[in-house]
Amino acid sequence: MWPRGDSRHDHAIISPTDSLQSFEYHSEIPNKLMPESLNRFQAWLAAEVMNLPQLAENVSWRCWGDASESHYAGVVTAESDSSLSAIFSLPKQTGHWFLTLSDGDADSLAKIMAHLDEYDASGEIHQSHVVRFDYAYLDQNGYVGVYLCTPIVSPLFKQLAAPMVFDSNTAHPTLVIFITESEYEVWKDRGSDGLLDHFDDVDKDLVSFGSN
């Protein structure tokens, strides 16, 4: 049974058409050492994911933006299945901490995590929100955007569902679920509770990127 969302936060954010295409990727650090530019809060959040026993140790890092405004995402493969990756954003300070587990292309999904982190800086994102993206990789796989909810529904991330407090900053763990056009229409017509009922009815697969 999916936990019900807060319908007061039902809201759709439409990403500008070229936003992801122009979101420039500028570096990858392909080892388990954390980038030196991470602050203490980001490093602590990264360690929380890296310490999950279901994950391997081969974490890699992606960074988008520029020297003045960078947005990081981490990628760690699952211990039992190398086709699965835990992908997560790294907020610089209090905000949402975006998490997903998927067999989709890690670079493409990491870009979305980092882009959500950029949006979150505006203060417009909440759980129960939908964010639509005009992004070729999503379109090719039948998705139009993401739905944001509590990680309590994820076997991997449920132990990270509570707010994470460190150095007076608070990260609000938020699971990223990729949705199709038909699922978006359900959300638009019936709200968060209706979409979650639909997920229950169809036994929504949160991991397989080609399962829609």
In this prediction, residue 62 carries a pLDDT of 83
pLDDT of residue 198: 94
Residue 13 binned pLDDT confidence (cut-offs 50, 70, 90): low
**In the chain, count of helices (H) and strands (E)?**
4, 10
Average pLDDT over residues 43-64: 85
At residue 30 the predicted structure's pLDDT band, cuts being 50, 70 and 90, is: very low
Is 177 in contact with 196 (CB distance < 8 Å)?
no
Residues of the chain with pLDDT > 90: what percent? 42
Question: Residue 196 contacts by C-beta under 8 Å, 6 or more apart in sequence?
Answer: 2, 3, 4, 5, 149
pTM value > 0.75: yes
| DSSP summary character for residue 162 | S
Query: Over the stretch 72-99, which tens digit does the pLDDT of each residue have?
Result: 888 999 988 989 999 999 998 889 999 9
The confidence band for 143, taking pLDDT boundaries of 50, 70 and 90, is very high
Mean pLDDT of 131-156: 91
Q: Residue 199 has what pLDDT?
A: 93
- Euclidean distance between CA atoms 139 and 116, whole angstroms: 18
DSSP three-state, residue 206: coil
